[in-house]
Amino acid sequence: MRRAVLISTRHGHTPALTRTGCQSSWTSSSLLSPSGQGQGQQQQRLLHSKSRDCQEAAAVGTRAKLPENEEAIPESRKGITIADILERRAKAGKLVAMTAAAADSDMFKASQVGKPMAKRWDNHLSAEARIREPCVLKKAAKNLKKPGIISLGGGLPCPEYFPFESITMKVPTAPNFSEAATRTSGKEITIGKYDVSQSASQKDGPVYDLSIALNYGQAHGSAQVMRFVTEHTELVSNPPYADWQSCLTVGSTAALEQALRMLCDRQRGDSILTEEYSFSTALETAMPLGAKVFGVKMDEQGLLPESMDEMLSNWDSTQRGGARKPHVLYTVPSGQNPTGATQGEQRRRDIYAVCQKHDLYIIEDEPYYYLQMHDYAAATKPATIDNFLDNLIPTLLSMDVDGRVMRMDSFSKVVVPGSRLGWITASAQIIERYIRHAEVCNQGPSGFSQVILHKLLDEEWGHEGYLAWLMNLSGEYTKRRDVMMDACDKFLPKQIVSWSVPKAGMFHWIKVAYPLHPDASSKSLLQVEEEIFNLCIEKGVLIARGSWFRAEQHNKISPSSSVPAATTPQEQTDMFFRATFAAATPENMTEAIRRFGEAIKESYGL
Amino acid sequence: MRRAVLISTRHGHTPALTRTGCQSSWTSSSLLSPSGQGQGQQQQRLLHSKSRDCQEAAAVGTRAKLPENEEAIPESRKGITIADILERRAKAGKLVAMTAAAADSDMFKASQVGKPMAKRWDNHLSAEARIREPCVLKKAAKNLKKPGIISLGGGLPCPEYFPFESITMKVPTAPNFSEAATRTSGKEITIGKYDVSQSASQKDGPVYDLSIALNYGQAHGSAQVMRFVTEHTELVSNPPYADWQSCLTVGSTAALEQALRMLCDRQRGDSILTEEYSFSTALETAMPLGAKVFGVKMDEQGLLPESMDEMLSNWDSTQRGGARKPHVLYTVPSGQNPTGATQGEQRRRDIYAVCQKHDLYIIEDEPYYYLQMHDYAAATKPATIDNFLDNLIPTLLSMDVDGRVMRMDSFSKVVVPGSRLGWITASAQIIERYIRHAEVCNQGPSGFSQVILHKLLDEEWGHEGYLAWLMNLSGEYTKRRDVMMDACDKFLPKQIVSWSVPKAGMFHWIKVAYPLHPDASSKSLLQVEEEIFNLCIEKGVLIARGSWFRAEQHNKISPSSSVPAATTPQEQTDMFFRATFAAATPENMTEAIRRFGEAIKESYGL
């Protein structure tokens, strides 16, 4: 059973292309100049068009009614399958998207008929986000639709001057993913400069090349990679509203900063909720923007919805340093950083319900989503891609009937961090504002990253191969996690140290009983934590201190002296350390945990 | 004669490594975990150290005095040469910089002894920029210096799971840069996953590989590419103060947004100066930040210093919609977008002097700097790299005795836009604040982009080959510019159309006499401009309207309703169109200008 089935009976889709709906028509669309290349003629290209029903529905701006002549939505329905996507691609024909081609997810989605439209978020937007205007030069490019027009408009360099004739990469073939297997069964894939124009007549020729990828592109990313992530998002989440969109990012850290600038307004006293312990870089991102961060209590399944509801129901700005009642939740549902906590399906539903009740917008940051793991010390592991998909806990996006979730996906943890490439999925309104910002900052991801990932994930592996890769990776991380659990079991003094086995991600969160420390009466928790940290360094292991991740630690810093200081940060009563099982070799990991155990024992006089 | 010589007798350098100074000592430095790779042992690596005298001088925070025992600075002195750099590299030994190695320009600069320190810019910084704190996890990584330490700290994935065994690129060899030459004499360069560790014992082995480039890196970029851009900056600008630094960016658009957020504070009513006609994307970047933009009158050499001085001397906030007297100048000195204007050397000195008088911080945006061109219809062109360098107009950075310039360089116009890679150069204080921001947004450029450009520019071409590439490119753009000038000469009605020949860049700025239009009494300038634009589209040419680039067009939009609207934008009295000669083929360009001429003639009834 796919996650889509579990989620809601309100979302569903009709089989692709069997009747009028998104993806049912393909018309000519415009591109920026594909000039140069020594051709004497400006060329017009076809690109998958934005389908009409999505456009019109989006223009309404409120939830569209179901057309009366639509068939009733079945009570339960399978999610999108890879076969659906392949069929849709075959019917659409070859993707034609040249230099800086505009694109959006509607070009690649299945029919959304029968789904509601997202809510509008006007009141959630910051002043900065509201007043952004489209780029005037990009607007003018729509005139390039006219056949035979010559552009003297945009300053796009001629690819003749790109000093790369081709790029070849050696990569594993699915499912033989290991380094050893790659050495023997790996494949060399070459990307030429003019592959697309040189094979324009071939039905199955390449759709992306260096002349396109290495020129300026759109801030939302290339149509080629947009197609892949849109389809992948459908396979995994199939959002239950119609006007969802994906667009590429330069990684989730950047996406988070853009999202916070879009949603939080310093002058409005905006603040955000997150887990009691949260990703330190996320906290460091929010702080300079003047957005205070408040932490919600957690258990081993992450943040507690009742606790969040109580905080919000009883919000008092004066008690919170002037912070307005939060209208944004930032959460990492799977393998949360730093606690390793993973929200179960019901937990996610409960959190979503509280966000509906208090009208919170949700930032779902999911770098570790595919690093969900088999049970510790169990032999069960998914045997097929379908098993793998079925075992994934449903995403918040898959439950998002309101369009109140911005899901952030990233290739950093599952392909390479150096790609600086990820994507977000949210309602059309939010994605449009996001792109307006991206146009005047990062301008979208590197073309090298895009074309290389396209060739590997789309042309070489395809969706099936990529899912097989993710499944394999999840197995690898399970093994690493188990090595660390074994080491903890063996070397940590259990009378004072406790933990839950992480079910996803890269992090293990280790609790050490501060009240049992012999100096607890004379030394503060932070002092003991520091002592243990320093003993660890002395003994040769670097481990992260729990206090670094306290959500509310930055609130004491006022963005300007006229704003009153925030409430005193919550008293920290538990002592934690974070250890990653992602990086070190199994031998080193085991030795490192042994050293950590020694440090604790020394501090506690054991 | 090098530009460095022309600039100031106050800056100079002592021959690299002949006495105590920057670069004279090399000590062990720390890196983030280079774990994984199946090695049983965590490795410590050496990296060029930050030299002591620069660190200490920077710590003082005001201009350092010359050490008494230093020799007097000669009145005139050659700039840094490629030979100096090669000698310095040879003495430094192989660069060792593993995964996420911290680096800064001081590791790669010549001795700065004898130069003053930059001024401090505390009062210019925004609240947001002032309160940024270093990333706590990156701070902790300094503990990795300890020999034998095992990191369970940062969540860096193990490169074992990077699905790229190697990347090979076919590139031109200097000086045979054309596509045709590349087909015959091009070279294939391969980047392996573990090149560095596999050739650790080789003195001249590779210093950068996929396992390093594709993992997380520092927000300032890799040490490998930092070294190249630092040295390149010395060759071209040799800044006349000691504590300058370069750091990588994800392109100049992003760098501009970061700079504006660092310098402009909405709540302070900050505003910036720029050319009367300015890059539309820059204007669109500033507007949502609440920073008003004011335009300075221009001539064919760009902005007029006297006009700027007068504006600033008589600044009246109430007349300017509440905007505080500007403390930032944004300027594109070479081949300015959209006007194509290039500031001559004296003009640059005069602009710098006005900025000193009014204490303006300067953002020098120079994407087109190397696209400076030979005279139109002249046979002269540089024969050697030395000629080429000598003929470049000195940069503002090279005149910057105060450290008041942030120079923005980019590979977009001179290598490939898709690299999303550039760099900035400014004082250590400004670079430090910039990096603090980059750490919580883009996290630095793509690793694919970095390693590919490193292999091409540094390992294959070297500084000499890269300068030869730039010289060749400048010649190519000169040819394109000349094709457009010939076409304008042939097809535009000179009784109403006039222009200056651009001396750099990609843009031609064409003035059309609005007062001579037969309907000038009944149609506004904007109406006539629109009419001609539409006639152009009708006749098959897309050209940019001058009004799109009016600096003050966005000031009418208040960031919040409580702020009064800006002054009425300056009345536009001249009508302009911008045409690029970068993109279209020579034949298309000529035909496009013919069509543009037809449109003007039709509108004017000629």
pLDDT in tens, B375-389: 887 767 778 999 999
CB contact under 8 A, A167 and B169: yes
Question: Does domain B223-371+384-445 correspond to CATH entry 3.40.640.10?
Answer: yes
Residue B45, SS3? coil
Rg, C-alpha atoms of chain B: 25
Is the pLDDT reported for residue A2 higher than 70? no
pLDDT tens-digit map of B326-371: 999 999 999 999 999 999 999 999 999 999 999 999 999 999 999 9
pLDDT at B245 over 70: yes
State the number of CA atoms in the 13 A half-sphere of A582 facing the CB.
31
pLDDT digits (tens, 9 = 90+) for A518-543: 999 999 999 999 999 999 999 999 99
Residue B298 token pair: 């221009």
Our CA-based measurement puts residue B207 at a distance from the nearest CA of chain A, in whole angstroms, of 17
Locate the domains of chain A by residue range.
157-215, 223-460, 479-604
Q: Searching chain A, which residue's CA lies closest to the CA of residue B557?
A: A131
Res B605 pLDDT > 90: yes
Q: What value does the mean pLDDT take over residues A402-412?
A: 98
Please answer whether residues B511 and B498 qualify as being in contact, where contact means their C-beta atoms are separated by less than 8 angstroms: yes
The whole-chain average pLDDT of chain B stands at: 86
**In the prediction, which pLDDT does B3 show?**
36
- Please give the angle made by the CA atoms of A340, A346 and A350, to the nearest 5 degrees: 95
Q: How far is the C-alpha of B370 from the C-alpha of A157, rounded, in Å?
A: 14
CA distance A404 to chain B (A): 23
Residues of chain A positioned with their CB less than 8 A from the CB of B127: 290, 559-560
Closest by CA to B165, choosing from A79, A235, A177, is A177
Residue B361's beta-bridge partner residues? B328
- CA closest to B419 among chain A residues: A446
Give the residue from A175, A583, A593 showing the smallest Cα distance to B37. A583
Across-strand partners of B188? B170
Predicted pLDDT at B240: 97
Q: Looking at the predicted structure, is the pLDDT value of residue B473 above 90?
A: yes
How far apart are the C-alpha atoms of B116 and B398, rounded to whole Å? 14
Contact check, Cβ <8 Å, B163/A143: no
Interface residue of A158, A216, A411, A446 to substitute, partner B, most B CBs within 10 Å: A446
User: Å from A172 to nearest chain B CA?
Assistant: 6
| A294 CB-near residues (< 8 Å, 6+ apart) | A271, A272, A273, A274, A311, A320, A323, A326, A551, A552, A555
Task: Enumerate the residues of chain B whose CB falls inside 8 A of the CB of residue A155.
Answer: 337, 413, 506-507, 580, 582-583
Of B288, B271, B260, nearest in space to A130 by CA: B288
Nearest by CB to B177, which of A163, A166, A214? A163
- Predicted local distance difference test score (pLDDT) of residue B566: 37
DSSP structure string for B108-127 = TPPP-TTPPPPPP-GGGS-H
Nearest Cβ partner of A415 from B163, B267, B441? B163
- Cβ of B136 and A280 within 8 Å? yes
Which chain B residues are closer than 8 Å to A43 by Cβ?
A: none
CA nearest to B146 within chain A = A540
Residue B563 in this model has a pLDDT that exceeds 80: no
Long-range contacts of A84-87 (CB under 8 A, 24+ apart): A84/A15, A84/A16, A84/A110, A85/A231, A85/A234, A85/A235, A85/A463, A87/A16, A87/A17
Q: Indicate whether this complex's ipTM tops 0.90.
A: no
pLDDT at B137: 83
Q: Over 80: is that where the pLDDT of A377 sits?
A: no
How far is the alpha carbon of A177 from chain B, nearest alpha carbon, in Å?
7
From the list B167, B215, B440, the residue facing A285 with the nearest CB is: B440
**A479-604 to CATH, choices 3.90.1150.10, 3.10.20.30, 3.30.420.40, 3.40.50.150:** 3.90.1150.10
Q: Which fold has domain A223-460?
A: Aspartate Aminotransferase; domain 2 (3.40.640)
pLDDT at A348 over 50: yes
Q: If you measure CA to CA, which chain A residue comes closest to B472?
A: A161
Nearest CA in chain B to A268: B560
A570 has a pLDDT exceeding 70: no
Cβ atoms of residues B256 and B408 within 8 Å? yes
CA gap B144, B43 in Å, rounded: 10
Q: Is residue A108 within 8 Å of A48, Cβ to Cβ?
A: yes
Give residue for tokens 């109406």: B527
Mean pLDDT computed over B564-587: 75
Q: Which residues of A touch B439 (CB under 8 A)?
A: 281, 284
- Considering CB atoms only, which of B143, B156, B559 is closest to A537? B143
Positions of E strands within B34-95: none
Query: Which of A197, A222, A214 lies closest to A162 in space, CA to CA?
Result: A214
* Average pLDDT for B23-30: 28
* CATH architecture designation of domain B476-604: Alpha-Beta Complex (3.90)
DSSP string, A530-572: HHHHHHHHHHTEE-EEGGGGBTTTTTTS-SSTTSPPPPPPPPP
Residue pair B435/B255 in contact (Cβ under 8 Å)? The answer is no
Element (H, E) at A191: strand A187-192
Q: How far is A376 from chain B (nearest CA, A)?
A: 20
Within 8 A by CB and 6+ apart from B468, the residues are B174, B175, B177, B385, B461
Contact B584 A35 (CB under 8 A): yes
Q: What is the pLDDT of residues A265-298, one digit of tens each?
A: 999 999 999 999 999 999 999 999 999 999 999 9
Q: What is the mean pLDDT of residues B307-333?
A: 96
Contact (Cβ atoms closer than 8 angstroms) between residue A30 and residue A97: no
Tokens at residue A331, please? 């959460």
pLDDT of A56: 35
> With contact defined as beta carbons under 8 Å apart, do A309 and A286 qualify?
no
Residues 6+ apart with CB under 8 A from B600: B492, B493, B496, B497, B512, B532, B606
Least confidently predicted of A281-295, B34-48, B67-81, B484-498:
B34-48
**Contact of A577 with A507, CB cutoff 8 Å:** no
pLDDT value of position B139: 82
Interface test with A, best of B32, B35, B98, B150 (most A CBs within 10 A): B150
Q: Does the beta-carbon distance from A288 to B40 stay under 8 Å?
A: no
How far, in Å, CA of A230 to CA of A233, rounded? 5
Contact A128 B288 (CB under 8 A): yes
Q: What's the pLDDT score for residue A195?
A: 98
CA closest to A543 among chain B residues: B153
B144/A452 CB distance under 8 A: no
CB of B263 closer than 8 Å to CB of B361: yes
The encoded tokens of residue B559 equal 């960031």
pLDDT greater than 90 at residue B72:
no
**Whether the predicted pLDDT of B95 surpasses 70:** yes
**A-B C-beta contacts closer than 8 Å:** 420
pLDDT tens-place string over residues B122-162: 999 999 999 999 888 888 888 888 899 999 998 899 999 99
Burial class from Cβ neighbours inside 10 Å (0-12, 13-18, 19+) for residue B377 reads exposed
pLDDT class of A79 with cuts at 50, 70, 90:
confident
Q: Which helix (H) or strand (E) holds A6?
A: helix A3-7
